[in-house]
Structure 1
């Protein structure tokens, strides 16, 4: 299962109402570190399929939700469980660290 694109319009249904935990990667096309972690997130999405959904939100195309929750720096990953943000990680990291962090919080 590949990563899922989330928009301002779909955030409630795709993230907050999800029955499985959702990791939202807030990113932008001009962000180098965002592009660096994208392949790792794709792989983690497949490896942890069924346990967590990995979603991506382009903050340039979808300014509403990032504005509401105060996203100031990217890449910012926020893990939501039962509609609540339970953990967040700022900045790029190697795949092993990202996966370990996700597994430790889900």
Structure 2
């Protein structure tokens, strides 16, 4: 997801947005992928889930001050309400999104 698409989706989103900052070479990112997919499936209609490749879009990563990956951000009204680096399970991702509803 590039900056233009990212900004368009986030600016129009009525629901909270979970952003997964990742890179293909990152083993913990690959471990997080099933948790992100499960969250997207289980929160469909209540939240938006986006993935941003930090190698392809370093400017987006810099905007959120991503220092390590995986890095997760939950946005509400376009503003971050949660930001955390490290491997996180689906239960925690969903809890963050529910808090932002």
TM-score category of the 2 structures, normalised to the smaller one: 0.7 to 0.9
Could you say what secondary structure the match of 1:89 adopts?
Answer: strand
Runs of 4+ more than 4 Å apart: none
**Which of the residues 62, 72, 75 maps onto 2:57?**
62
Determine if contact 1:8/1:63 at 8 Å carries over to the other structure. no
Report whether the alignment pairs 1:11 with 2:6.
yes
Unaligned runs of 5+ in 1: 1-5
Give how far 1:40 is off: 1.3
3-state SS of paired residue (2:67): coil
Tell me, yes or no, if structure 1 residue 91 matches structure 2 residue 67. no
Report the Cα offset of residue 14 of structure 1: 1.4
Q: 1:48 aligns with which of 32, 43, 48?
A: 43
CA distance in 1, matches of 2:84, 2:35: 15
Report the alpha carbon displacement of residue 101 of structure 1 after superposing the two structures with TM. 3.4
User: Taking structure 1 as the reference length, what is the TM-score of the superposition?
Assistant: 0.84
Partner secondary structure for residue 10 of structure 1 = helix
Which ranges of structure 2 fall in alignment gaps of 5 or more residues? none
Specify which structure has the higher proportion of helix. Answer: 2
Residue 60 of structure 1, CA deviation:
0.4
Partners of 1:65 and 1:30 in 2: how far apart?
18
Q: How many residues align?
A: 101
